[in-house]
Structure 1
């Protein structure tokens, strides 16, 4: 009699065991008396009894080291362990992202695919259904917004394959591709309603601000203008901003078309218009598109008197005097200006200046004549009184007699008088001074005043 010895385990069927198969483990031993007590252990834990240990529909969970224990009344003995290696397709496939938490453009990111399979599986990576890589690890350095999206891995061995659940790679980045669109497109006319839309790509979504000519005019992705006018014309842009940065769109031109307004007339040269002057009337207006047609009218006349932005009148005369206005027109309408008055001014004043010049000129001539009459009168008086005169005085008297004769209104013209006066002035300046000096004598002045009325 002896206790168990040569205890061993055999597996049936032999060869590769695949999940789903049925497997039998048989425990054999040599003992006397024969062992009647058999126990089975997996990884040290009791899993059954009896010489035969059967597993139907085996799975990966049955893989492991098995042994049996044979016992009789004289003792017991364990077999060597045998490995039950169950082959199975991938299962429990999943993806983890490192580092965890918020991912910002420029970071480096690693995706790890884990799976359970026997034999080990091959790993493939997919983004949005398209293959992007292979291997258990998928790394992205200097990540950008283009890497955002849904990722998954596929684990495959010869027994089958399995995909992981998708994971979202959510890359944070500042705004980019910022642009403005105008609706409706095409020509914009005053009174229309217009919408400006700002589109941008950013994560997280950005806050939108609107600017016209550099000044803030609104916020929000949509900027609406109802009953648009010419005041709304100008360059617009939007600014997209999130916590990672900001970006401006390119400027867009909001070009509002509108009919004529603020039509006015200016006169060049400004100021007084004298007969013979050249005058230009210029018509200015505000419109979009600019006015191309200008017509000129004179009040109380039915037909136009001119065309073009400028209307010129050369050699202006009183016949042109009146009130004029212009009418400007573009394809959206027309408007007339207020009337301006064109009048020939300064004609009477010019005539008055001419007459005054004549009077002044004649007055100066009369004054000279009177002076020489005084000289002549004084010389003749001295002669009658028998006063002694020197040679120079006699010459002066002779010259004075000549002057007297020359000034005789009955025989001399104004041209002759002027010639004579000029001659006398050059010949007797000293005598002229003497005559002027004698005017201070009141008695003689009175005599002169009485006799000056009679030139003889």
Structure 2
């Protein structure tokens, strides 16, 4: 029995591919081209399977009861021959040969096509190492077996099918990638339970949605502690810088000011920057109020609302706490109070406010002699035993 790939210039068989790994229950296509000597007439050509044994005639696969119902011949059978073997099983793992019989001789193309059928195979997703927002990304589902029948692939993101459409190509193309495309990708072959290990796709993008929040919110008074927080959406995480006006004042996501003063008033903003870009937040304004309070004593039967806080005491004496702000405007109802040890502040001049109110504060109605209460003299009130009623500045 003559056999060989190319043993002479006249005989020859060439296989493509020469090695096939197929999944159980899939279809396999085996193909070859062949030549034979001039003057020979083709009597018969067919595919057979090994092992080859000297002196033993190999059977035509069309007559093999194990595969005859699953075999289909393709090609013109003049210069090439192609067969499809469907629903392959583990028993189909053999070396397959093309056999030529002419009116003068016989020839077997050796070595042939090696077919390995497996029920367990490895799948792996290949992806780029770096993915940036806006890129086009191609993922490839690789198998330890060469799938010759154009198997149908199914793709998953975060264990959920990407689409109802099944793809006969083992590649998944993500065009103009967005942040929402990030996730864990895996693939499978339709009809098989095996799913590849997941590959993480991490989409990089420049800072977005940069903003500043202030804690605590509301009015800020001199001496308070204030925290500014910069929020930013970016990948990879951005570096944060803080600016007051156009001057750099700090870095980090949180910028804290302890014992804030009026010098800290101004506009603040943060800058978020990574390797893909940068973005500034809108500016926020800090207005720091300087507030001082002092106590005063009045002997009265009542005071109109809006002047201060009156705390009642014995003998009709009241302590009035008046808070003064440097931001108060001078008007017809204010006058300056100067203390050599303090800053200059403004206070309400009650007499110029309303005559009724002033008369109420300055007129003392003596009580009956049997009443043990007595009228307090504001000028001597500093001698009172209770130091908290002394006229002083409350910080």
TM-score tier after normalising by the smaller chain length: 0.3 to 0.5
Point out the structure with max Rg over C-alpha.
1
TM-score, normalised with respect to structure 2: 0.47
| Higher relative contact order (CA closer than 8 Å, sequence separation 6+) | 2
TM-score, normalised with respect to structure 1: 0.41
